Structure 1
Amino acid sequence: MGPIPDLLTVSLWLVLTTIRRAKAAPLAKAAVKRRLAACGSISQVRSIYSWKRTLRDEAEALIIFKTTKEKVPQLRTFLEKEHPYETPEIIEVEVARVNAQYLSWVVESVAA
């Protein structure tokens, strides 16, 4: 593992996606195993949305991936390729504040 960058120059990012519940854990595990994210937290959600002019009400899973800004493009590409939905939800959010110990763990976890 290379040197850990100065934490003042690193930002934590959350990348969110929804997916069928049965597919959530395998997708999260694959992203973490590839060091694209330090963690993928999975929650059960109910999504109500319009798809092709039809109102849908689905049980899904929400995955919140924790990663660094540098890994976001690779994680996005991975999700676009591996996500089973025709139009996957991939939302990227920069975190305004995070404790240094957690950020250090994220940086170390995604380091090559």
Structure 2
Amino acid sequence: MKRLAAGVQIVGPIRSLYWWKGSLRDGQEWQLVIKTTRALFADLEEHIKASHSYETPEIIATEIFEGSGAYLDWIRTETQRTDAS
């Protein structure tokens, strides 16, 4: 198991309006809020791109300026890779 995220929230379905290849699209999507570390972002991005059906999936990072110490420790702990993972 790669342990690229400590947890994921799935929001949706949501309605998305967006421009794609010159035309306005109207579609149904699901938003994922993925809890990971900055060190694992590139690996997570690679995994999403490899498994997502979209040519250009939305992959953005929101910096955590402050947070509960215990919660942030949980994210770090749960995303640590071990030889058994």
Alignment TM-score, normalising by the size of structure 2: 0.86
Q: Structure 1 or 2: larger helix share?
A: 1
| Inter-partner Cα distance in structure 2 for 1:52 and 1:70 | 33
- CA root-mean-square deviation: 1.1
| Inter-partner Cα distance in structure 1 for 2:50 and 2:78 | 22
Which letter maps to 1:38?
Answer: A
2:69 matched to 1:100?
yes
2:75 alignment partner, SS class: helix
**Paired residue for 2:36, among 53, 62, 67?**
67
2:9 matched to 1:34?
no
Alignment length (residue pairs): 80
1:78-100 Cα offsets, whole Å, 9 max, x none, are 11211110111111121111100
| Inter-partner Cα distance in structure 1 for 2:17 and 2:23 | 11
- Sequence identity (%): 38
Structure 1 gap segments, 5+ residues each? 1-32
Which letter maps to 1:89?
Answer: E
Counterpart for residue 91 of structure 1? 60
Counterpart for residue 53 of structure 1? 22
Structure 2 gap segments, 5+ residues each? none
List 4+ stretches of structure 1 deviating above 3 A: none
